[in-house]
């Protein structure tokens, strides 16, 4: 796709290539400035937890969206253009951009640096005193510095210690994966192999990283730094503290287009189910994956990617495998693997896990996210009792604008001001919430039309039960129902059918 031309090209020569090689060849042919979205073997073989890959390893990963590309034999989309993007107030936009960049680039005072460096060592104390809002207690510039220095891997050990991160397929805790292990997949122990920062287009935060890693078994000349979700799901969730193995698994998923959250979840499922005898040994293709030993993990992912042997069953996700092997060890909702945030740590996670149009998502909102963004401070006119609803809708608008969630988490990010300067309107926060509510309702009523009522979706019992060991307490059925009913009331959706009421539909101009 160019400024004025769309062309469909036969590309049989790319079949079977991974996304990195595909991108290299296409950039060589069409120019270094082209932007490319491609698929790997996982998508070609219609794995239901595959994603669309850009920038040699950044993935739109959840819900198996790229299996649609695979089903249409669409290997890649190549785009370049020369036209500029116009805004209503270029001068005002540039001034605001400078102010935001100055704030992000400011850094922290020398007095704060020792505390930032030692943050992981505080993790047991944070757990012991049950401090759940530790992120929002930190100054915004410290949060910014943490993202710039480490990215999302900064919090791995703290979230393991406090009970937010799933351990041993949601059965374990920091007792099974203690600080000496979780610290190996956190902060400097991850970034010491980073050769340069990586950022999305024009972002001053640059929370990503490009790594180079080598050991006696393999060499990765250039690979993306694993994110928190990857480090937990391919690390702590498997009792695996081998950072080199996590790099290798992450690189393979990036190249072939596998969602790393799902990859870690499915590996944990297989380990538990084979350990209990639910999966017969003769169906394991000679593999014996176990907790804490990554030697067979990559081989199992390769079976899934190519749909060979047991991999053909696992490639369809938990629903098929759980039924076939008669096991409840699959941690998913509607075949969507649960991400690395435990609702027993933050009960509000139940709401997006069960009610979002794409269930099992951790990104729409949580109590911690609302606190970090300083949403209530930015918009004090919004009643605190409605903050979940308002932030949920606000976040839907922000996501649809393509804005970065991590910038929001630095607190007081001027989304409203940016939007008005770009489009030339005088929108209020209420307008932004209404736009987000409209987006939410349109997605939701599409699902309703297809016969999907989110109240029929159930979280695995294990996710709500008291942890066998560790800090997480059970969430009662009555408490879960209370959270959901209250949220449906705030949305003005029927508490049985979840159909939005007429007044809500009229108020969001949906007809």
Residue located via tokens 């269930």: 359
CB burial readout 389-401, b (16+ within 10 A) else e: bbbbbbbbbbeee
CB of 394 closer than 8 Å to CB of 408: no
Tally the C-alpha atoms within 13 A of residue 496's C-alpha that lie toward its C-beta: 0
pLDDT attached to residue 332: 96
pLDDT attached to residue 117: 64
CATH level 2 (architecture), domain 109-337: Orthogonal Bundle (1.10)
User: Nearest-5° angle of CA 367, CA 368, CA 374?
Assistant: 95
Q: Which residue has the higher pLDDT, 117 or 502?
A: 502
User: What's the pLDDT tens digit per position in 463-478?
Assistant: 999 887 788 888 898 9
pLDDT interval class at 146 (50, 70, 90): confident
Q: Which residue has the higher pLDDT, 43 or 111?
A: 43
By C-alpha distance, which of 194, 252, 249 is closest to 225?
194
Query: How far is the C-alpha of 165 from the C-alpha of 144, rounded, in Å?
Result: 22
Asked if pLDDT for residue 126 goes beyond 70, the answer is no
The secondary element (H helix, E strand) that includes residue 59 is strand 58-60
By C-alpha distance, which of 433, 333, 444, 427 is closest to 392?
433
CB of 278 closer than 8 Å to CB of 326: yes
Query: How far is the C-alpha of 293 from the C-alpha of 300, rounded, in Å?
Result: 13
Query: How far is the C-alpha of 287 from the C-alpha of 39, rounded, in Å?
Result: 27
CB of 356 closer than 8 Å to CB of 364: yes
pLDDT attached to residue 264: 98
Q: Which residue has the higher pLDDT, 216 or 123?
A: 216
| Cα 27 to Cα 146, 200, 248, 306, 448, distances in angstroms | 33, 18, 25, 26, 42
Q: Which of 55-59, 141-145, 289-293 has the lowest mean pLDDT?
A: 141-145
Instruction: Find all residues with CB under 8 Å of 101, minimum gap 6, and list them.
Output: 204
Query: How far is the C-alpha of 387 from the C-alpha of 367, rounded, in Å?
Result: 9
Q: Which of 4-13, 117-126, 471-480 has the lowest mean pLDDT?
A: 117-126
Domain with CATH 1.10.569.10 in the chain: 109-337
* Mean of the per-residue pLDDT values of the chain: 91
| Cα 72 to Cα 39, 58, 75, 277, 474, distances in angstroms | 12, 22, 9, 38, 44
Asked if pLDDT for residue 134 goes beyond 80, the answer is no
What class has domain 347-458+476-507? mainly alpha
CB of 223 closer than 8 Å to CB of 57: yes
Instruction: Find all residues with CB under 8 Å of 87, minimum gap 6, and list them.
Output: 93, 421, 422, 423, 424
- The secondary structure of residue 90, as a DSSP letter, is H
pLDDT attached to residue 386: 80
Helix (H, G, I), strand (E, B) or coil at 170: coil
User: What's the pLDDT tens digit per position in 61-102?
Assistant: 888 888 999 999 999 999 999 988 899 999 999 999 999 998
Enumerate the β-bridge partners of residue 332. Answer: 337
pLDDT attached to residue 510: 64
Domain with CATH 1.10.599.10 in the chain: 347-458+476-507
Query: How far is the C-alpha of 66 from the C-alpha of 41, rounded, in Å?
Result: 11
Enumerate the β-bridge partners of residue 35. Answer: 79
Backbone φ and ψ for 212, nearest 5 degrees, come out as -130, 125
Asked if pLDDT for residue 43 goes beyond 80, the answer is yes
pLDDT attached to residue 420: 97
Asked if pLDDT for residue 145 goes beyond 90, the answer is no
Enumerate the β-bridge partners of residue 60. Answer: 52
Asked if pLDDT for residue 226 goes beyond 70, the answer is yes
């Amino acid at each position: 796709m160019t400024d004025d031309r769309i062309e469909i090209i036969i590309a049989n020569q790319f079949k079977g290539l991974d996304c990195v090689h595909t991108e290299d060849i296409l950039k060589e042919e069409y120019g270094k400035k082209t932007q490319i979205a491609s698929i790997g073997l996982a998508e070609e073989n219609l794995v239901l937890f595959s994603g669309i890959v850009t920038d040699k390893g950044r993935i739109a990963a959840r819900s198996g969206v790229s299996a649609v590309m695979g089903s249409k034999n669409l290997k890649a989309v190549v785009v370049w253009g020369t036209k500029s993007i116009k805004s209503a107030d270029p001068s005002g936009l540039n001034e605001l951009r400078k102010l935001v960049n100055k704030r992000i680039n400011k850094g922290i005072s020398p007095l704060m640096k020792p505390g930032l460096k030692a943050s992981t060592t505080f993790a047991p104390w944070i757990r012991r005193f049950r401090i759940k809002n530790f992120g929002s207690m930190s100054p915004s510039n410290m949060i910014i510095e943490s993202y710039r220095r480490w990215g999302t891997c900064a919090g791995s050990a703290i979230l393991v210690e406090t009970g937010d991160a799933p351990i041993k397929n949601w059965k374990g805790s920091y007792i099974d994966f203690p600080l000496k292990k979780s610290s190996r997949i956190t902060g400097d122990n991850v970034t010491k192999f980073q050769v340069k920062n990586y950022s999305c287009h024009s972002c001053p935060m640059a929370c990503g990283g490009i790594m180079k890693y080598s050991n006696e078994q393999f060499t990765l000349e250039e690979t993306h730094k694993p994110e928190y979700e990857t480090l937990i799901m391919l690390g702590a969730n498997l009792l695996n503290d081998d950072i080199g193995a996590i790099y290798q698994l992450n690189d393979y998923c990036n190249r072939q287009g596998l969602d790393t959250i799902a990859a870690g979840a499915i590996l944990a499922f297989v380990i538990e189910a084979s350990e209990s005898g639910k999966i017969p040994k003769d169906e394991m293709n000679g593999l014996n994956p176990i907790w804490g030993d990554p030697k067979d993990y990559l081989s199992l992912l390769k079976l899934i990617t190519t749909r060979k042997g047991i991999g053909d069953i696992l490639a369809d996700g938990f629903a098929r495998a759980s039924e076939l092997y008669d096991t409840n060890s699959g941690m998913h909702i509607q075949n969507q693997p649960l991400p690395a945030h435990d609702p027993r740590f933050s009960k509000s996670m139940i709401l997006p896990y069960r009610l979002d149009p794409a269930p099992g998502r951790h990104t729409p909102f949580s109590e911690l996210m609302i606190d970090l963004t300083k949403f209530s401070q930015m918009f004090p006119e919004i009643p605190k009792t409605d903050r979940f609803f308002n932030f949920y809708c606000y976040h839907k608008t922000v996501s649809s604008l393509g804005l970065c969630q991590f910038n929001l988490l630095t607190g007081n990010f001027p989304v409203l001001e940016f939007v008005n300067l770009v489009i030339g309107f005088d929108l209020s926060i209420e307008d932004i919430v209404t736009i987000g509510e409209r987006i939410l309702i349109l997605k939701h009523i599409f699902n309703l039309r297809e016969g999907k009522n989110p109240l029929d979706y159930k979280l695995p019992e294990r996710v709500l039960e008291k942890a066998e060991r560790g800090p997480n307490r059970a969430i009662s059925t009555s408490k879960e129902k209370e959270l959901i009913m209250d949220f449906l009331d705030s949305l003005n959706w029927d508490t049985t059918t979840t159909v939005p009421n007429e007044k809500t539909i009229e108020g969001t101009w949906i007809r």
